[in-house]
Amino acid sequence: MKGKIIKSTGSWYQVMEFETDKIFEARIRGKFKLIKTRLTNPLAVGDFVEFQLEQDDIAWITKIEPRTNYLIRKSVNLSKEAHIIASNIDLACFIFTLKHPETSLGFLDRFLACCEAYNITPLILFNKIDVLNDEEIELVKDIEFLYQEIGYDTLEISSYSKLNFDQLQELLKDKTSVFFGHSGCGKSTLVNALQPGLNLKTSEISDSHLKGKHTTTFAQMHFWDFGGNVIDTPGVREFAMIDIEKEEVQHYFPEIFKKREECKFHNCLHINEPKCAVLVSLETGEIQYSRYANYVKLMEEAEETSQK
């Protein structure tokens, strides 16, 4: 029997069979290793699998199909292990909030670099627009323009006023999407607004440090009435890339990668090399300093990791 993982709690999974859409509780039989990194979770929501039924309709997963792509992050407590957030994704939606909680551009850039690395189409959703004053809305529009110029799709939304929901539904329709962002950025509230009746648990922002509390504790796939589905993921406070060489990092910043052809040296890393087109573009404002600073930071982290 064949199906896809629609829920993962760590040791138990839910599998939806393709032919009947029937859902089975499932466990793993055998060991799966499809990537070189050590994983805390051998299976992820979105994985296509083969399984066998035994008594009491318990499913035993016997095979996992190769993934077309996946989102991955370093495990919180285990620096040498990684956690696959979701797999076989058509659209990865990053929920950006200017406040309650504040999303850093570094966090966004890591996410976008990961999407570039694993061939996932990203969409930046600027959420909670309804709680911003005029000055803050102008700042969001500046950030939005910055990323649109690079080539990324963006959309301003609000789960409460349903701002731009028609456009959002059209973008999500008939796709497997993933919602990603800090705890408290409004992922579960957004899913509830798009699919009334789900009643996913949501939480207020913690007053003590203005960061969200984890309300989603495991990844789960939910289905839209308008077609397609979404993988709701636990909120993430830190996000690090895996198995990346420092020379590769520029491949995941499109505006930097495009400029490299104009550099004097073909192996230019755009740090302090002579006649570097990226450094010139940084001075002229063609490449944004925030993006370049995050590029350098990711390069340094990749070098540190490779030396361990």
Q: How confident is the model at residue 37 (pLDDT cuts 50, 70, 90)?
A: low
Let me know the angle formed at the C-alpha of 250 by 248 and 254, rounded to the nearest 5 degrees: 130
> For 277-298, b where at least 16 C-beta lie within 10 A, e where not — what string?
bbbebbeeeebbeebbebbeeb
Residues of the binding site: 127-130, 181-189, 263, 268, 270, 276
Average pLDDT in the 238-262 region?
Answer: 90
Across 276-286, average pLDDT: 97
- Read off the pTM: 0.90
Q: How far apart are CA 195 and CA 189, in angstroms?
A: 10
pLDDT at 148 over 70: yes
Q: Which residue has the higher pLDDT, 240 or 182?
A: 182
- Ordered by where they begin, the domains of the chain are 2-66 (2.40.50.140), 88-200+218-232 (3.40.50.300), 246-307 (1.10.40.50)
Give 113's pLDDT tier (boundaries 50, 70, 90).
very high
211 pLDDT above the threshold of 70 = no
Q: Which residues are annotated as a binding site for Zn(2+)?
A: 263, 268, 270, 276
214 has a pLDDT exceeding 50? no
pLDDT in tens, 40-97: 788 899 999 999 998 778 899 999 999 999 998 876 665 567 888 899 999 999 999 9
Look at residue 167 in the predicted model and tell me its pLDDT: 98
- pLDDT tops 90 at residue 198: no
Angle at 154 between CA 148 and CA 156, to 5 degrees: 130
Beta bridge partners of 14: 7, 25
- Write down the mean pLDDT value for the chain: 89
**pLDDT at residue 184 tops 80:** yes
Q: Is 250 exposed, middle or buried (0-12, 13-18, 19+ CB in 10 A)?
A: buried
The pLDDT assigned to 55 comes to: 79
Q: How far, in Å, CA of 218 to CA of 233, rounded?
A: 6
Which pLDDT belongs to residue 275? Answer: 97
Binding residue numbers for GTP:
127-130, 181-189
